[in-house]
Amino acid sequence: MLDPKAAIFDARAWTREFINFSEGDPKCAPNRALGVAFQNPNVHGWNTGTQVQQSVSSVVVEVVKNLCGSLQPPKQHPETNSEGFEGVVEGGEMLLVLGPPGAGCSTLLKTLASQTADLEIDPESYLNYRGIHPKHIRGSLRGDVLYNAELDVHLAHLTVGETLSFASLARSVRHVPGGFTRQELALIRRDVMMAIFGLTHTVNTRVGDEDVKGCWDNSTRGLDSANAINFCRNLRLQADLCDVASVVSLYQAPQSAYDLFDRVTVIYEGRQIFFSPAQDAKRYFEDLGFQCPDRQTVPDFLTSMTSPHERRPKPGYENLELMVYEEKHPQQIRLTDYRGSRRQEQAKGQRTNSPYIISYSQQVALAYWRAWRRLLADPAFTITSLVFFLIIAIVLGTMFYNLKEDSSSFYYRGGIIFFSLMFNAFASQLEVITIYAERPVVEKHNRYAFYHQSAQAFASYLCGLPYKIINMFVFNIMVYFTAHLRREVSAFFLFCLITLLSTLTLSAMFRTLASITRSLEEAMIPSALLGIGLIIYTGFTLPTAYMPNWSRWMATKVCRLTRSFALLLVRSRGLLMSAVTKYINLSFNYWNEHKWRNVAIIVGFMILFFAVYLATAEFARPPKTRGKVLVFGRAGAVSRPRHSVDSDTEALAQEQHVVTVEKGTLAPGSTGLTRGRSIFHWEDLCYDIKIKGEEHRLLDHVDVGSSPECLQFSWPPPSTERGRCTNKRSTVGVFRGWKDHITDTLAVRVSVGVVTGDTLIDGVPTDATFQHQVGYAQQQDLHLSTMTIREALEFSAILRQPAETSRKEKLLYVDHVIDMLEMQDFADAIIGVPGEGLNIEQRKLLTIGVELAARPQLLIFFDEPTSGLDSQSSWVISTLIKKLANNGQAVLCTIHQPSAILFNQFDRLLLFAPGGRTVYFGGRLHCPSL
């Protein structure tokens, strides 16, 4: 039971034994715990008015106006994101934060975790971490209080085991109990975490998840109910045995997960309307005169209290609790003890006030190990670079093949040297893209106090040396000897040395540009201009002697490739020719005696740029996020009311939550949909795929049918009730793969495996035109970020509706879809990228609208349309789907983690057991035990 790799593993027993084992070792640091008390943490963001999409002309005008000073900076209006909060979370307790999108749940979590770089907190705000001031939490103790955002960011090419091993090693303590090494303990902790979260079988699978303690922001997004409950259950384990205080924000919290929490707070429009023990929450609102509907869970009931009428906690309740906490944990009393415990975990030589556990050299070594594992896991870039270098070397070598050893070949020798330098140098420009690809993970790990950002930069630079050297030798050997340059050992290795130093110098330069800029677009522009400058000022296209004075200064003092070019040029000549030597002396002001001096200068510039790169990487800070602020196209921004900015990273303010969330407000009526009368069904459907040479059946002889005004709903039962349908809770599945398989298979979206069985329309087998008659709203909301909502809908309608339908009719139907989905207020908004632009609900509506705009004649597939939404937004989407069905649109829908109220929206049920076997198909009311 204590072996994490065994079939039966008791996480609670293992944790208890490990704690007892550590406490028995006097060299181990004593266990330390943090809690938090907060009162009036007033948090403000900034609003600059209506956001309008930038254009080429507007960017130029804005730059000119700012340079001339003719316009003042945009007026910023302070926007209060949260105020009036009070509460206490002791060590070992769990607080559940409930609220609709835009209420301020993420803002509260970021404030409690002291992650307030994007926010402004009033000085009178009160935060007490068991006697420790927030400034210490933001500084030397930031690795002990974490904020985990709802969007998971990981290095894609690392395996699950490598990702967890890296996290464990980055926070490994100085003294390991029981005689284990740091690496052995890290592997044990990795195996335990994987066993707890059911990831043991994915140890060698790429792209995984990792477990860190702290504040968890909507961490169950995308999980089904059983996995969400298991996640919260393990947080409960940490709280009970390790005294970890967890603050969790959930959108759709199952009742079983809610029962694990000690306290709950309800937030609406940046204000706290309830804070109390979780078992008192329902009774509190019922005493106020509210009634909880039958079969509605407590978290859904609490979220439904966020109505336009503000509710407030009972006067005096929180104040009393705060006074008791203040007396128990006065400010600064426990800081010394807490730091002493933490100091015992830090590596020798590490500063006491450093937030990091391992030393700087250990951080570099660990980051180098991770970079090397990434290189092995994704060798495509390295191999492609090597092949490309070889091809270019062959091309250049054959162009300058076997140059003569006289002055007639002098110009051609300059050409081959110039192209060799430029190609080796410009290959480093691609590193800008690599740095931006890993930047979100590096910033996240730095917030977790895993390592210095400069340590990661150092390791990344070192990891690139081997393949740079290999590419350089492959390229230089081919070019040097094919072009018949100077056949001397010293000349050849000097050629290799200069090209390598030039490559490393420009690599550090491009990396510095990537570190000081805040977006990939900002970095690519100066790097491109830098490349053009190197071509101009190297001295091949125009010798420095013929340049104007200021250009000559750029070439000789700034562009160090000029010296590299001249040095290699004079060393490449086959014979000692006085005329050539004199020409080089006059054109480049270079003498052969200055060879090693110039090599030292190139090395100095390389060290300088490398030092600047490390400094910029260490002190660079991520740009402030704008939140999900609607940005309108210029045509759609005219006379539009100002939208408030919500710095809460999960959603907009309620003004942008435009779809009415009050139940029953989606009025029925004619939708303009084509009312279908066809019957779609499938018989003996099987889906098999081959994994590692073994056949796996994902769908096993599924028979079912779909008719108009009928909704299909499918999910697997939990493993503890496999194949049975016993009660409401047991219907929430643990794995939604079979639902995805049935949807993808029926919609003809599978690209691998073998599908057998029949799909029929009115008894006639489907043909190639079937995909044109159905819509498929997939779970991932994939849209072009630069388009407006209206443009996306018009694009879908024009391309996917029948050709005999006129363009005017298609555009009119788009307006009808916008009205039907109630998107009039943001129809001209730019879609944006996740995190900026449309919020989750608006993106989901757009996904549905794109399929409706195509006007499918037969059926629409919805793959988990409520995934990631809160309970109210889920109700809006499900009511919309019901509205479509009532107006004649046949729908097949899969939903994970459904509440009883959502479940009642559907007409028929398709229930799967693990293995893709059908357990039940029929009317929802025919299975009353659900």
Give the pLDDT confidence score for residue 525 in this predicted structure. Answer: 84
Structure tokens given for 255: 């009742």
Sequential DSSP letters for 508-563? HHHHHHHHH-SSHHHHHHHHHHHHHHHHHHSSSSS-GGGS-HHHHHIIIII-THHH
What Å distances lie between residue 572 and 403, 581, 588, 704, CA to CA? 11, 11, 15, 78
CA atoms within 13 A on the CB side of 749: 14
CATH class entry, domain 654-926:
alpha beta
> What pLDDT, on the 0 to 100 scale, is given for residue 728?
26
Beta carbons of 61 and 250 less than 8 angstroms apart: no
C-alpha dist (Å) from residue 835 to 106, 651, 845 = 12, 8, 16
**How far apart are alpha carbons 874 and 100 in whole angstroms?**
11
> Per DSSP, which regions of 105-259 are E strands?
120-121, 126-128, 147-148, 215-217, 246-249
Residue 624: band (very low, low, confident or very high) from pLDDT cuts 50, 70, 90:
low
CB–CB of 899/875 below 8 Å?
no
More confident residue, 177 or 313: 177
Question: Token digits for 404?
Answer: 């003569």
Per-residue pLDDT averaged across 393-413, rounded? 81
Q: Cα–Cα distance between 599 and 330 in angstroms, integer?
A: 62
Edge-to-edge strands of the sheet including 77-82? 77-82, 43-47, 120-121
Angle (CA) 413-415-416 rounded to 5° is 70
What's the pLDDT score for residue 789?
Answer: 92
Number of H helices, E strands in the chain: 30, 24
> pLDDT grade, residue 152 (50/70/90)?
confident
pLDDT of residue 612: 94
Work out the pLDDT band at 812, boundaries 50, 70, 90: very high
CB count within 10 Å of CB 40 equals 14
- Selected residue with higher pLDDT from 111 and 899: 111
For residue 722, pLDDT over 50 is answered with no
Residue carrying the six token digits 């924000």: 249
Q: What is the DSSP string of 744-789?
A: HHHTT---SSEEEEEEEETTEEP-TTGGGSEEEE-SS----TTSBH
- Mapped onto helix, strand or coil, the DSSP state of residue 843 is helix
Average pLDDT for residues 618-639, to the nearest whole number?
Answer: 66
Q: What percent of the chain has pLDDT over 70?
A: 75
Higher-scoring residue by pLDDT: 776, 595: 776
Q: Which one of 601-615, 830-844, 860-874 scores highest in mean pLDDT?
A: 601-615
Terminal Cα distance for the chain, rounded: 34
pLDDT at 641 over 50: no
Q: What is the pLDDT of residue 657?
A: 40
The answer to whether residues 272 and 265 touch, using CB atoms and an 8 Å cutoff, is yes
pLDDT tens digits along 813-839: 999 999 888 888 889 888 887 767 788
Q: CA 278, CA 295: separation in Å to the nearest integer?
A: 18
- Average the pLDDT over each of 162-166, 431-435, 651-655 and give the range with the smallest value: 651-655
> If we measure between CA atoms, which residue out of 245, 238, 212, 264 comes closest to residue 93?
245
Beta bridge partners of 774: 859
The one-letter amino acid code at 845 reads: L
pLDDT of residue 615: 93
**pLDDT single digits (tens) 690-716:** 877 788 888 888 876 554 444 333 333
- Residues 92 and 31: their CA atoms lie apart, in Å, by 12
Are 126 and 41 within 8 A, CB to CB?
A: yes
Task: Note the pLDDT tens digit of each residue in 300-342.
Answer: 888 887 755 434 444 454 455 555 655 665 555 556 666 677 6
Contact 76, 47 (CB under 8 A): yes
Read off the pLDDT of residues 515-541 as tens digits, 9 standing for 90 and up. 988 888 888 888 888 888 878 877 777
User: Helix, strand, or coil here: 892?
Assistant: strand
DSSP 415-430: HHHHHHHHHHHHGGGG
pLDDT digits (tens, 9 = 90+) for 105-145: 888 888 888 887 777 777 778 888 888 888 888 888 888 88
Angle at 837 between CA 659 and CA 821, to 5 degrees: 25
Residue with tokens 């044109």: 772
Please state, in angstroms and rounded to a whole number, the distance separating the CA atoms of residues 880 and 207.
35
pLDDT at 660: 38
- Mean pLDDT lowest among 69-73, 166-170, 645-649, 835-839: 645-649
Q: How confident is the model at residue 362 (pLDDT cuts 50, 70, 90)?
A: very high
CATH 3.40.50.300 occupies which residues in the chain? 654-926
By C-alpha distance, which of 522, 551, 521 is closest to 538?
551
pLDDT at 82: 58
The per-residue pLDDT for range 783-793, each reduced to its tens digit, is 888 889 999 99
Range name among 236-240, 426-430, 665-669, 747-751 with the lowest pLDDT average:
665-669
Handedness of CA 774, 779, 785, 788 (dihedral sign): positive
**Res 475 pLDDT > 50:** yes
Cβ proximity of 196 and 10 under 8 Å = no
CB–CB of 449/353 below 8 Å?
Answer: no
What does the mean pLDDT of the chain come to?
77
Of 80, 83, 78, which is closest to residue 39 (Cα–Cα)?
A: 83
pTM of the model: 0.75
pLDDT exceeds cutoff 50 at 729? no
Roughly what angle, to the nearest 10 degrees, separates helices 561-571 and 520-537? 40
Per-residue pLDDT at 853:
92
Helix (H) or strand (E) holding 715: strand 711-715
H-helix or E-strand spanning residue 679: none
Tell me which long-range contacts 512-517 makes (C-beta under 8 A, separation of at least 24).
512/609, 512/612, 512/613, 512/616, 513/432, 514/431, 514/432, 514/435, 514/436, 515/435, 515/457, 515/613, 515/616, 515/617, 515/620, 516/616, 516/620
Q: Which of 871, 855, 897, 865 is nearest to 743 (CA)?
A: 865
Closest CA to 471 of 449, 500, 451: 500
Q: Using one digit for the tens of pLDDT, what is the confidence trace for 666-684?
A: 344 445 555 656 778 888 8
